[in-house]
Amino acid sequence: KQEVTQIPAALSVPEGENLVLNCSFTDSAIYNLQWFRQDPGKGLTSLLLIQSSQREQTSGRLNASLDKSSGRSTLYIAASQPGDSATYLCAPNNAGNMLTFGGGTRLMVKP
């Protein structure tokens, strides 16, 4: 059974800092891994999807890496902004679209 851990659980930083959010998972037989953000009371917004054969994926100020063999992924956020404040969730996909979610990292970026 896949288990996902995200560290840290919460993070508060001043605007402009570069951040690293960590995700670890126990079952490395994954199709892909997705990172999402969730704003309070809303659904999830897809940020990045890394295929199992890829090492990293970039979109704007976001960069996600994947080390499948060690069961780790990181999300790097460059030059953080107050609008980045949200909960960030990672989710490996082991079968079909059956994602397993971590508990998330709650990020607060202060102006």
Partner 1 sequence: KAGVTQTPRYLIKTRGQQVTLSCSPISGHRSVSWYQQTPGQGLQFLFEYFSETQRNKGNFPGRFSGRQFSNSRSEMNVSTLELGDSALYLCASSLSNNSPLHFGNGTRLTVT
Residues at the interface with partner 1 (CB under 8 A): 31-32, 34, 36, 42-46, 49, 51, 89, 91, 93, 95-104
Residue 100 contacts residue 59 (beta carbons within 8 Å)? no
| Nearest distance from C-beta of residue 79 to partner 1, angstroms | 24
| Nearest distance from C-beta of residue 102 to partner 1, angstroms | 8
Nearer to partner 1 by C-beta: 43 or 111? 43
In a 13 Å sphere around the CA of 28, the CA atoms on its Cβ side amount to 9
Residue 82 contacts residue 110 (beta carbons within 8 Å)? yes
Nearer to partner 1 by C-beta: 20 or 95? 95
Nearest to 58, CA basis, from 75, 45, 80: 75
Q: How far apart are CA 66 and CA 56, in angstroms?
A: 6
Residue 38: exposure state from Cβ atoms within 10 A (0-12, 13-18, ≥19): middle
| Nearest distance from C-beta of residue 15 to partner 1, angstroms | 27
Nearer to partner 1 by C-beta: 19 or 37? 37
Nearer to partner 1 by C-beta: 57 or 65? 57
